[in-house]
Amino acid sequence: MKRDALPYWLSLMVLLVACYGGWKWYQVRQFEASREFGGVAFAGPPLKEFELTERSGEPFRSADMRGKVWVASFFFASCPGQCPRLNANIKHLHEQPELADVTWVSITVDPDNDTLPVLRDYADRYRADPRRWLFCRGEFDYIKRVGEDFFKLEVSWKGHKDYAVVVDRQGKVRGMYDATSINQSQKLRVLLLECLAEKPTQSEATTDLAAGAKRSQATSAQKQDNCAKLDSCGF
């Protein structure tokens, strides 16, 4: 009797496992579908300038990004939850040839632990191009201001939204999308292509030339100053 019942119970177990797997698949699909209509696209005022420190030790200045398309996001290296998924999606977008002119800026919300060496190691995990995917840190109170005042995103200690914020060539926030979502990451890609297709305005081109000339003058003045110091020392 028991042997006759064994196939029945095995079949029932297989059926239950299949039903459970189907239910979890349905939940995931419903979750992604609910995010399909999320995200925010808008044209905001120009961002104020801010400065952080990149993993290389070099300063990152928002003012230097004028004329470029870039994306800002928040994370922390020891995050066990959404950050790996967020940065995995960013990595996928960062590697697409048509987005090669986009700069990605990831800002830590745990600066006490995310030192420059930690940021370098974390960036290496994702094979982040040091010229196109920057990892930045600063004092936490200042990072909180950057998030809330400049990007209008709530930032707390080891807490952040999973949005990727798109900034266009004019320094305007053009949209923000949940980068942990595949559907919204696709929308993010579409917006980035739109921003890349936009030509810099005449005023932006003039500003870039003026900024370049100013940097050149500063470099020249520094060289002259160094030469004068050498002469005064008898070299």
Give the model confidence (pLDDT) of 26-64 as tens digits.
444 544 444 444 444 544 554 478 999 999 999 999 999
* pLDDT value of position 152: 85
Residue 14 belongs to some domain of the structure: no
Q: Which tokens sit at 164?
A: 């990727």
Please check the confidence at residue 10 and state whether its pLDDT lies above 70. Answer: no
State how far the alpha carbon of 219 is from the alpha carbons of 141, 216, 226, 230, in Å.
33, 5, 11, 17
Contact of 95 with 65, CB cutoff 8 Å = no
DSSP codes of every residue in 90-109: HHHHHT-GGGTTEEEEEEES
Look at residue 228 in the predicted model and tell me its pLDDT. 46
Query: What is the tally of structural domains in the chain?
Result: 1
- Which pLDDT score, from 0 to 100, does residue 122 have? 97
As a whole number of Å, the end-to-end CA separation of the chain is 105
Higher pLDDT, 56 or 9: 56
pLDDT at 4: 63
Of 92, 122, 115, nearest in space to 182 by CA: 92
Q: What is the pTM of this model?
A: 0.68
Query: Does 224 fall in a domain?
Result: no
Q: What is the pLDDT of residue 216?
A: 46
Name beta bridge partners: 135. 106
For residue 51, being part of any structural domain is answered with yes
Residues 166-222 have pLDDT tens digits of 999 999 999 999 999 999 999 999 999 999 999 877 655 554 544 444 444 544 444
| Mean pLDDT, rounded, for 115-139 | 97
Within a domain: 149: yes
For residue 73, which of 1, 206, 149, 167 has the smallest C-alpha distance? Answer: 167
User: Which domain range does residue 132 map to?
Assistant: 40-199
69 belongs to a structural domain: yes
The predicted structure's pLDDT at residue 199: 83
* Average pLDDT of the chain, as a whole number: 79
CB 134 within 8 A of CB 104: yes
* Three-state DSSP class for residue 79: coil
Please report whether residue 194 resides in a domain. yes
> Is 9 domain-assigned?
no
H helix or E strand, kind and range, residue 61:
strand 59-61
Q: What is the CATH number of the domain that holds 52?
A: 3.40.30.10
Helices (H), the chain: 2-35, 82-94, 116-125, 140-145, 182-197, 202-232
Of the candidate ranges 54-58, 78-82, 133-137, the one whose mean pLDDT is the lowest: 78-82
Rounded Cα gap, residues 211 and 206, in angstroms: 9
**Is 168 inside any structural domain?**
yes
